[in-house]
Amino acid sequence: MSSQLWQRLVFGFRSVLGPKPARAESPVVLLDPGPDREGARVVEEPAWHCDPASRFEQEQEEEDDDSIERIEDAKAAMDRSLAWRSQILLERSAGSAQLGDGPAIVASLQDPEGGVIRQIPFAAQQALAVSRNPMSSVGELVKLFERDPTLAQSLLKTANSAWYQRKDEAVVSIAAGVQRIGMQAVENVLLTSIVAGMLCRPGGAYGVLVGKVWAHMLRTAPLAQRLAPAFGVDPETAYTLALLHDVGKLAVFDYISALRQGLHREIRMPEPFLHELLVRLHEPVGGRAALRWGLGVRAARTLAEHHRHPVPDTTDPMTELLYVAERLDLAAHVWFEEPDWEALWADGTITTDREAVERRYAMESN
């Protein structure tokens, strides 16, 4: 598959087609809510792809309330969003684009039980629970890494990264690594391993695309962490959410891969339809995955709205950060160009002080 093709499929048509076409020429591209540099500039276009009624209530004071009621409310909102976006996807796609398995896959993705998204393996769920329990001791956290050399290596690599390193002292033991990076970073090391193991298996139908998306997510996480102070958000939470921001795309690829195995044949889906499906559905699918994996309502909501289209009703610095970080990553590693800060702020309706973010980006890039 050519590099242009994967860019088009995964990151949006604009990444390979050059300057923005006139609106009348290509409404689909212009309405693209994905990481498309130009699409989001069409501010006068109604947010038809996202049912306003399916959006989350902005309840800042209850953001960390993960009661069963609130989780159910969030799940219902995701379901409505997915249903709405799926309907639009099917209505707006040309008849020829809908040939093959695409429409059936869209229907399956709406399964209210979320069966399309695989559950995290039990052992990994237990490990995550330990990493999230504020009562866990360093000894319990160390145990998570002792029997897995790959995980231990990831932990040490994180502990010795520029972000955590103190006075050039290298960390060589798991216990020291855990103590240096803290619980949430331990959770991030676990989450990275879990997502890579579950959703980035080699040999899948779209292995190359999965690899590109995952690489983008892995790069965006530390970038978001470094920019977080300029947005006034917690750097570790920023890392987690940026790491997972496009997990909905991986879940879609994983489902297609499983379907291919189950049917013992290749999945038939025209490229334009796959592109539209990924762009339009990956946010609510990612939000559902976060809920299914017990990551909490706030995380789910952020993943489900990270393209800020439509723009949140109230100030939401975390989605602002994700929007900016992922676009900066695409500019640097996919589009190979200097960031257009003015367009970035306008496209994402970013309210954070731009100069502060630019300064931080310049500082961290050097």
Residue 137 structure tokens: 């001791």
Of 23, 18, 71, nearest to 44 by C-alpha is: 23
Q: Which is nearer to Fe ion, 131 or 240 (CB)?
A: 240
CB of 79 to Fe ion, least distance (A): 19
Q: Which is nearer to Fe ion, 81 or 131 (CB)?
A: 81
CB of 242 to Fe ion, least distance (A): 9
Q: Which is nearer to Fe ion, 38 or 326 (CB)?
A: 326
Dihedral sign for Cα 82, 300, 41, 34, please. negative
> Are the C-beta atoms of 147 and 193 separated by less than 8 Å?
no
- What number of chain residues touch Fe ion (CB under 5 A)? 3
Applying the rule CB under 5 A, the residues between 72 and 101 that interact with Fe ion are: none
Q: Which is nearer to Fe ion, 189 or 247 (CB)?
A: 247
Q: Which is nearer to Fe ion, 156 or 223 (CB)?
A: 223
Q: Which is nearer to Fe ion, 159 or 250 (CB)?
A: 250
Applying the rule CB under 5 A, the residues between 228 and 267 that interact with Fe ion are: 246
Q: Interface with Fe ion by CB under 5 A: which range of 34-42, 80-88, 97-105, 254-262?
A: 34-42
CB of 282 to Fe ion, least distance (A): 6
Q: Interface with Fe ion by CB under 5 A: which range of 163-171, 202-210, 322-330, 350-358?
A: 322-330
CB of 303 to Fe ion, least distance (A): 9
Pick from 326, 327, 348, 350: which binds Fe ion (CB under 5 A)?
326
Alpha carbons within 13 A on the beta-carbon side of 173: 7
Q: Give CA separation, 213 vs 17, 60, 206, 272, 361, in Å.
A: 19, 31, 11, 18, 22
Calpha distance 108→288 (Å, rounded): 14
CB of 128 to Fe ion, least distance (A): 23
Q: Which is nearer to Fe ion, 180 or 327 (CB)?
A: 327
| Long-range CB contacts for residues 309-312, cutoff 8 Å, separation at least 24 | 309/33, 309/40, 309/47, 309/49, 309/50, 310/47, 310/50, 310/52, 310/55, 311/349, 312/58
36 touches Fe ion (CB under 5 A): no
CB of 68 to Fe ion, least distance (A): 28
Taking CB atoms, the residue at the shortest distance from Fe ion is: 326
Applying the rule CB under 5 A, the residues between 163 and 222 that interact with Fe ion are: none
CB of 216 to Fe ion, least distance (A): 6
CB of 245 to Fe ion, least distance (A): 5
Q: Which is nearer to Fe ion, 35 or 348 (CB)?
A: 35
Calpha distance 214→220 (Å, rounded): 10
CB of 285 to Fe ion, least distance (A): 11
Residue 11 structure tokens: 């990151």
Q: Which is nearer to Fe ion, 66 or 326 (CB)?
A: 326
For helices 68-92 and 297-304, the axis angle rounded to 10 degrees is: 10
Residues of the shown chain interacting with Fe ion in the complex, contacts defined by CB under 5 A: 35, 246, 326
